[in-house]
Structure 1
Amino acid sequence: MRILPNMMNLNSLKDSKLLDLSSHFVGGNHVEFPSDKEFKVIEPRSGKVLTTWHFATKDQVDTTVKTAKTAQEHWANSTWMERSEILKKTADLLKTHCNDIAYWECISNGKPISEARADVLSCVDTFNFYSGVAHDLLGRHIPLDSARYAYTRRLPVGVVAAIGAWNYPIQTCTWKTAPALACGNSVIYKPSPLSPVTALILAEVLKCAGLPNGVFNVIQGDAETSQHLILHNDVAKVSFTGSIPTGKKIMKSCAERNIKPITLELGGKSSLIILNDADVDSAVSCAMMANFYSQGQVCSNASKVLVHRSLLEELTTKLVNRTKLMKVGDPLKEETKVGAHISADHRNNVEGYINSAIAEGATKLCGGDRITVEGLENGFYLSPCILTNITPKMKVYREEIFGAVLLLIPFDTEEEAITIANDTDMGLAAGLVTKDLARSYRVSEKLNAGNVYVNTFNDVSPLVPFGGIGQSGFGRENGIAVLESYTHQKSVFVNTGDCPNPF
C-alpha cells in the first residue's frame, strides 16, 4: 500500500487532478492498491474515459478492515458531543462546497446539474439530522422490584460494510454513512464502479471535518471485492443498495461464514394511481416526477401510471406535450432536464424494454429516441418515452425498467387500480393523486409498499424511514428507525440486595 498526498484543501475540488489522487481512501489517506484488475471511469455525458483505477484484492480488503476495526474502537469511546460536532461540521462543509461536489456528481453520473446540486443539499440535511439524534440512542431504566432494576444500552455494532448504488452516488453513501458514524461505527464504503468519484470526495470532507483516520474508508471493487468484504470476520454489519439478484447473493453470503445483520434496499415496480377526482395538471407533474427524474434511474419510480378512464384523454394529451418539451442535453447546463444514462449498456437495456413492448403490441406515444448532443456525440442520451396499450403479459409490465419509460394504463374502479398496483412482488413504493383526504387514507392503507406518496412522488427526507417489503428488501434507511440497524442492544440486570438462592 502506497500512501498518496491528500488534497491540499477542499477549494481544489474542481481540479481535474482529483482523479489522479487514487481510487482508494484508507486510514485517512489516499492510497494506491496495486492489482491486476483495472476498470475505466467513464463520463456518461461524453462517453470519455476519465481515468483507470484498480479494484481492491482480498489482502487489500483485509488491510482496510483491520484499519477500520482499530479506528472504530477509539471512535466508539468518543463522546456524543464529539461525534455531533464532526457530523455538523461535515454538513457545513458539504453546503459550502455544494456546487463543486455537484459538478463531480454530474460528471460521474450524468444527471442534470440541478438534480446533482439538490442531492448534495439533501446530504447536508442528512448529516445535520444525525448530528442531533443522541437522545434516540439513550437506553432505558427499568425498575423490577425494591432491590432489582435493569437498564439497556445501545452500542455500535463495529465495522460496517456499505455497498452503494450508481444512481445516487453521494446520497446513497451519506444515507448509510451518517447514521452509522453517529452510532459509533466505522464504515468501509464500496461505491459502484459506474460512479465511484464522489464517495472519495465525501471522505475528504469528513477528514476536514475532524473525523479520526480510519473511521471512514473507501475501496473500489467489483462483485469479488464485495464478497471479500462481506465474508470478513471483522465486518459486523452489511448495508446494500442495488439489484434484487445481487441482494439475494449478499444475503446468502452474510449467513455463509458468520451470521451478520444486513439491510437490503433493492429494486421496485411501482404504480402511481390517478383517481377520477384528481387535478389533471397536478397529476401530470406527479407522473413526470415518478418517471423522468434522474433519467428514470430511480428504484422507487412508478413506471406504471394508472389513470381513471374518465381522465385518460385529457391527461395523455397534456403529459405527451409536456414530455416533448423536456430538454435533453448536456447535464452540466442549467436548462437541461434530462441528462445522460449511466452507461451505453444501460441505455441499450432501456431501449430493449421499449422495443420489446412495441413488439408485444404497445404503442409509443413519444420519446425513446437516441439524442445526439453537440460536442458530446458519444454520450448516452435517450429521450423520455411514453407507452400505452400495455398488458400484464408484457415484459415492461412485470420487470423494473430503470429508465425514463412511462406506461399509461387505464382503469375503471378504485378496487381495480389497487389490484393492478399490488400486482408485483416488489413492494418498494406506490402513489396516488386525489383531492379526497379520506380516499387518500383508504387507498394508502391498501397499497402493499414501504413508501406511499399522495399528490407527490419520490419525496424523501432524512427524518422519514425509506425502504421496501417483499423482493424490494428489508430494513430502513433514514429516520430514527435506521439507528437500530447500526446498533445492538445490551440488557443489564442489577440486584442491589443479597443474591437470591433458588435451592
Structure 2
Amino acid sequence: MSPPSKIENYIGGTYRPSAGNERFETRNPATGEVLAVIEQAVVADLEAALESADAGLAQWRELTGAERGRILRRAADLLRARNEDLARLEVLDTGKPLQEALAVDILSGADCLEYFGGIAPAIHGDHYQLGANFAYTRREALGVCAGIGAWNYPMQIACWKSAPALACGNAMIFKPAELTPLTAAKLAEIYTEAGLPPGVFNVVQGDARVGRWLTSAPGIAKVSLTGEVGTGKAVMAAAAGTLKQVTLELGGKSPIIIFDDADLDSAVSGAILGNFYTQGEICSNGTRVFVQRPVLDAFLSKVTTRAERIRIGNPMDPETQLGAMISEDHGRKVMAYIEAGKREGARLVCGGRRATVQGCEQGWFIEPTIFTDCTDDMTIVREEIFGPVMSVLSFETEDEVIVRANDTLFGLSAGVFTRDLTRGHRVIAALEAGTCWINTYNITPIEIPFGGYKQSGIGRENSLAAINHYTQLKTVYVETGKLSAPY
C-alpha cells in the first residue's frame, strides 16, 4: 500500500480539503523521502469536525450496545484482512521494522476493536433493592471525546482510544502525531466501511495547535492523550478551563530488577525486549536494569552478545530487527544522551554509535547501546531517552533496590525476574508503578489495564477499566409507595 500524495482531514465520513492553506510534509524516517503532503487543520476544520461529531453522536447513541459492537467487530475483521498493507504503511511512517509491524501494530489494534466490540452489549449500570423501593444506575456516554496520539504506535494508539469510546456510545475526534499521520486516516476509512455513522470518528491533522484547540473547546467532554510529560501537563491545565475529563498515558523511566536466582537467559530476553524493541521508542521500556551483584558479570556478557547480534537495516527488509529513529532531531537527541553517559562516567560496553544502512543513508540508525557502572544520579539513568540505550546498575539487597527503583518522578512500569515467586510478588507490591511484570516484560494484552503512577499518567487504557473513563454514572431512585412530607 502506497500513501496518497495528499492527505486531507477526515470529517463526516469523508475526506475534506482544509479551510486553510497551510501544508506540511511527512517523510520516511529511514530514507528521508517525502511520503505525503498533509493539510493542516485550522479552526474552521475543527469546528466542522465537532459539528459532525455532534450529529453522528445523536445517531450513534440510539443504537444498542449489540449494534455498536457488531460494527466494531466488523472493523476488527477489516484490520486483520489488511494487516500486511497497513503494516507496510506503518513502517513507512515510523521507521520500525516490518517484522514488528506485521506481528504487533495492526493486529493489536484489531484485538482492541474486537474486545470492546464484544463487551459493548454488556455496558450497563446496577440495580439496588431498598426495601419496597429501589434504585438503579445508568452508564451513559460522555459525548464527543478527543484522542491525541503518539508517533511510536500510531494505529494501535488510535484503536486503544477510539474503541472504548465508541463502544460506550461516544463520538471521537482523533489527532494523530504530525510525524506519523498516515494510518489514522486509514482507520477512519475502515470504520466507515464497517458501518460507523458519519462523524462518529473524525481525524484532524496538524501540529500542537490542533491539540490545544481540542483540549480547550467547550463542546468536547474528554481528552485522552498519549505523549510526554510536558505535553500531559499542558493538556491537563487547558482542560481545567472546562473541567473536561482527562486520561494521560505519559513517559517512563522504568526499572527491571534481576535477582541472582533468576533464569538469566529469560532475564536477558526481557532486558532486550524492554530496551531495543521499536528502537527503544516505547514509553514503558525498562531502561534502568538493576542486576544483583553475583550475576552482574554473567548478565553483561549475555546481554552484550545478544545486543551485538541485533540486525540493523532497512525497515522494509523482513530480516531487520532494529530500524530508524523517528527523525533526525530525535536521533541527535538520543546521541546527545549517549555522549552524556560517557561524559558522566558510565562505561560503554556495547554500541553507542550511529549506524549507516545501505540505501537508507539519510535515516538515523543508532546501534543498541549498553552502559554499565551507572549510578542513580546520571542523566541517562534519570531522564527518559526514548532510544536504544540501556543503563545497567548493580545492587546488593532487596530493600536497597526497591528504594532505588522508586527514586524517580515516573511510575509507568516495572519488571522483576526471580525464581522465588513469593519475593517476586513482594517486590512488585512495593514498587511504585502502574503496569508490572514478573519474569517477562512489555506484554500488554488488551484484556488488562495499562497506565502509570506519579508523573507517568492518569487513568488506564484497555480492559474493563477503560469503560469507567468513557462513561458517566447516573443514579436513579424510584419510590414505589405514596410520598409524604414531614411538613
Shorter-chain TM-score above 0.5: yes
Note the 1:326-365 alignment, pairs <5 A.
326-365=310-349
Partners of 2:214 and 2:299 lie apart in 1 by 49
Partners of 1:319 and 1:127 lie apart in 2 by 36
Partners of 1:489 and 1:168 lie apart in 2 by 31
1:375 corresponds in structure 2 to 359
Q: Tell me if 1:391 matches 2:372.
A: no
Contact kept in structure 2, 1:136 and 1:480, CA below 8 Å = no
- Residue 305 of structure 2 aligns to which amino acid in structure 1? N
Partners of 1:119 and 1:321 lie apart in 2 by 28
- Residue 223 of structure 1 aligns to which amino acid in structure 2? A
Note the 1:12-411 alignment, pairs <5 A.
14=1, 16=2, 18-20=3-5, 22-117=7-102, 118-134=104-120, 136-146=122-132, 148-256=133-241, 258-411=242-395
Partners of 1:122 and 1:322 lie apart in 2 by 27
Question: Which TM-score applies when normalising by structure 1?
Answer: 0.95
Partners of 1:381 and 1:23 lie apart in 2 by 31
Partners of 2:20 and 2:326 lie apart in 1 by 25
**Displacement over 3 Å in runs of 4+:** none
- Residue 301 of structure 1 aligns to which amino acid in structure 2? N
Partners of 1:462 and 1:108 lie apart in 2 by 24
Partners of 2:150 and 2:109 lie apart in 1 by 15
Q: Tell me if 1:426 matches 2:398.
A: no
Find the residue that maps to 1:132 and give its secondary structure: helix
Find the residue that maps to 2:275 and give its secondary structure: coil
Q: Tell me if 1:437 matches 2:405.
A: no
Find the residue that maps to 2:225 and give its secondary structure: strand
Find the residue that maps to 1:491 and give its secondary structure: strand
Contact kept in structure 1, 2:411 and 2:455, CA below 8 Å = yes
Find the residue that maps to 2:330 and give its secondary structure: helix
Partners of 2:355 and 2:235 lie apart in 1 by 37
Q: Deviations over 1:261-314 (max 9, x none)?
A: 000100011010000101111111011011001000000111110001100111
Contact kept in structure 2, 1:238 and 1:262, CA below 8 Å = yes
Partners of 1:442 and 1:364 lie apart in 2 by 33
- Give the CA deviation at 1:35: 2.4
Contact kept in structure 2, 1:104 and 1:198, CA below 8 Å = yes
Partners of 1:172 and 1:51 lie apart in 2 by 21
- Give the CA deviation at 1:22: 2.3
Number of aligned residue pairs:
486
Unaligned runs of 5+ in 2: none
Find the residue that maps to 2:354 and give its secondary structure: coil
- Give the CA deviation at 1:470: 0.6
Contact kept in structure 1, 2:94 and 2:326, CA below 8 Å = yes
**Superposed CA RMSD:** 1.1
Contact kept in structure 1, 2:258 and 2:292, CA below 8 Å = yes
Q: Deviations over 1:178-218 (max 9, x none)?
A: 11010001110000001111101111111111111111010
- Give the CA deviation at 1:52: 2.0
- Residue 311 of structure 1 aligns to which amino acid in structure 2? V
Partners of 1:27 and 1:380 lie apart in 2 by 38
Partners of 2:162 and 2:45 lie apart in 1 by 21
Contact kept in structure 1, 2:250 and 2:455, CA below 8 Å = yes
Partners of 1:437 and 1:361 lie apart in 2 by 35
Unaligned runs of 5+ in 1: 1-13
- Residue 144 of structure 1 aligns to which amino acid in structure 2? L
Find the residue that maps to 1:477 and give its secondary structure: coil
Q: Work out the percentage of aligned pairs sharing the same amino acid.
A: 44
- Give the CA deviation at 1:145: 2.1
CA 1:443–1:141: 2 relative to 1, 3 Å: same
Partners of 1:184 and 1:215 lie apart in 2 by 9
